[in-house]
Amino acid sequence: MAKKKSKKAAEKQVAQAQATGLMGKIKELMQFFEESKVEIKKVVWPTRKETITTCVAVLVVSVVIALYLGVVDLAFTKIVEVVLS
């Protein structure tokens, strides 16, 4: 179901269409930073403990996969050597 545009959104589009030149770009930039500031306040940042736990998990999984691929590569190398010799 389509949402109806609010009056504020319609005014914003008209203002953007009329804003030309350097001053219009500066106002757009200021508005962008104001909206970004509001959005950053909504972010829920992970705790230090969560960050460390996640980092360790990624490192462990990476090492396990690297070892697995290394063993598989070694096995395929030996199989190819046997087949070709």
Mean pLDDT by 10 residues, the chain (85 residues): 62 64 85 95 95 98 98 97 92
Beta strands in 1-85 (DSSP E): none
Residue 82 is part of which domain span? 44-85
Q: Residue 26: inside a domain, yes or no?
A: yes
pLDDT at 36: 96
pTM for this prediction: 0.53
pLDDT at 21: 74
Cα–Cα distance measured from residue 73 to residue 30, given in angstroms and rounded to the nearest whole number: 55
Token look-up 């500066």 returns 26
Which residues make Cβ contacts (< 8 Å) with residue 56, sequence separation at least 6? Answer: none
Contact 54, 46 (CB under 8 A): yes
Q: Residue 1: inside a domain, yes or no?
A: no
Q: Residue 48: inside a domain, yes or no?
A: yes
pLDDT at 74: 98
